Amino acid sequence: MTDIWIAPEQLFDGERLHTGKALRLLDDQVVEIASATSAALPLKGCLTPGFVDLQVNGGGGVMLNDTPTRQAMTKVAAAHRRFGTVAILPTVITDAPDVLDRAAQAVIEAQGDQGILGLHIEGPHISYARRGTHNGRFIRDLDDRTMEVVARLRRRDVNVMITVAPEASTPQQISMLSSLGAIVSIGHTDADAETVEAAIAAGAKCATHLFNAMSPMTGRAPGAVGTVLNSNLCSGIICDGYHVDDRMIALALRARPKADLMFLVSDAMATVGGPDKFSLYGQEVHLCDGRLLNVEGNLAGAHITQAQGVARLVKHIGVSLESALRMAVTVPASVVRDAGLTELVGRKTQDLVVVSKDLSQIGLLADVTGSAMNENAAE
């Protein structure tokens, strides 16, 4: 049995950033946190619970829409784990109804699998005008078929986030989804402020990738963007320098009525941990200078990890490391109502992450401690 204490330079416990703390590891599990002593093995960097991502379309060369299976979800989760994201909501985007049916069955089979939190259903109940890269021929209003899919998943206690445009659903439907325990997220919408406010009153709790695929904010019409900013909705945001200008992210963070309403999402596609191109709706999407572009030259998802999003928040936007980690761990964990994702004690070392001081390197604690122990023994 391995019984050691390790003392990282910084420790994020899911709530706050600390120095001078040490963790006791029994084999591959954290069992205690206390003040560091000279007996503890020093560890460079910041130790944190692994990142949580509630919008992951693909990874490792796999797109969930193309392969809506348990095996595909497992491969996507494994690809993101390499970059410090240990828990994901695999995301199925606008497509034919049978694709959603298959994704729902896959996530039921995947319950309990490492890193799979549930399913994010992003479309097809969205605005045609704000569809982005989603295929317009599959877009339709929210219907009984999708409602039954959500009900089926919730009967199995599967986490469900469903992105809908308020104009493609009714307040009654949103209320029903909410009563089922689904997380209703407003997105891909061209709705005005009053329509968005009605959806919030009906039970919507989140917004999907703020600024992207939303009616914009102007001085006389708040649109979806302004309404979300002024609300108590939690909102995902993509922080890759392409989807949203860094200055607008800074503005959004200042504009929210209270703390912990913003969380990072990657909106990652198959290229994360995979090849530099993939097929979406039968058309090639390729990676070009950090951006994923479709045949029309438009953005088609993102090529970024949560670790890179954290680094950008700190280095380019001026967010504190503690706040950035809350956006990548604490807030998304609260959205899916899983406090265990923010904890250190009781967690396996394969679910904890060490980030270098300059935020450029990341590794799972399971790997980093083995290397540190070997170096210490050599000395």
Structural domain range at position 18:
3-47+358-378
d(CA 168, CA 162): 13
- Residue 350 belongs to some domain of the structure: no
Residue 287 placed within a domain: yes
Give the pLDDT of residue 368. 82
Report CA 315 to chain centroid distance, whole Å.
Answer: 20
User: What CATH number does the domain containing 176 carry?
Assistant: 3.20.20.140
Active site residues per annotation: 267
In a domain, residue 247? The reply is yes
Is position 177 within any domain?
A: yes
Q: Are residue 11 and residue 125 in the same domain, yes or no?
A: no
Q: Is 181 helix (H, G, I), strand (E, B) or coil?
A: coil
| CA dist., res. 193 & res. 126, Å (int) | 16
Per-residue CA distances from 269 to 77, 143, 153, 277 (Å): 12, 27, 24, 9
- Give the per-residue pLDDT at 23: 96
Give the amino acid at 70: R
> Is 348 part of a structural domain of the chain?
no
H or E element, residue 106: helix 97-109
pLDDT in tens, 152-176: 999 999 999 999 999 999 999 999 9
- Whether 147 and 291 map to the same domain: the answer is yes
Residues 107 and 250 in one domain: yes
> Is the domain of 35 the same as that of 61?
no
**Do 152 and 284 belong to one domain?**
yes
For residue 80, the model assigns a pLDDT of 98
* CA distance readout (Å), 317 to 182, 239, 346: 32, 10, 33
Whether residue 288 sits in one domain with residue 371: no
In angstroms, the Cα distances linking 299 to 74, 131, 182, 243 are: 26, 12, 28, 8
Query: Is residue 146, in this structure, part of any structural domain at all?
Result: yes
Q: What is the pLDDT of residue 377?
A: 44
According to the model, what pLDDT value does residue 249 have?
98
Three-state DSSP class for residue 70: helix
Reported as type and span, the H/E element at residue 371 is helix 365-378
Q: Count of residues for the chain?
A: 379
Q: Are residues 21 and 94 in the same domain?
A: no
Residues 269 and 255 in one domain: yes
Q: How many domains does the chain have?
A: 2
pLDDT of residue 378: 46
**CA 229, CA 220: separation in Å to the nearest integer?**
15
* 132 domain-assigned: yes
Q: Contact 92/110 with Cβ under 8 angstroms?
A: no
Q: Which of 110, 341, 120, 75 is nearest to 236 (CA)?
A: 120
In contact, 89 and 110? CB cutoff 8 Å: no
167 and 249 share one domain = yes
Q: pLDDT 10s per residue in the chain (379 long)?
A: 789 999 999 999 999 999 999 999 999 999 999 999 999 999 999 999 999 999 999 999 999 999 999 999 999 999 999 999 999 999 999 999 999 999 999 999 999 999 999 999 999 999 999 999 999 999 999 999 999 999 999 999 999 999 999 999 999 999 999 999 999 999 999 999 999 999 999 999 999 999 999 999 999 999 999 999 999 999 999 999 999 999 999 999 999 999 999 999 999 999 999 999 999 999 999 999 999 999 888 889 999 999 999 999 999 999 999 999 999 999 999 999 999 999 999 999 999 999 999 999 999 999 987 655 555 444 4
Same domain assignment for residues 133 and 33:
no
Query: 201 and 154, same structural domain?
Result: yes
Judge whether 369 and 25 are in contact, CB under 8 Å: yes
> One-letter amino acid identity for 353?
V
By the 10 Å C-beta count (0-12 exposed, 13-18 middle, 19+ buried), 270 is classed as buried
Q: What is the pLDDT of residue 295?
A: 86
Helix (H, G, I), strand (E, B) or coil at 169: coil
Same domain? For 66 and 187 the reply is yes
Q: Is residue 191 part of a domain?
A: yes
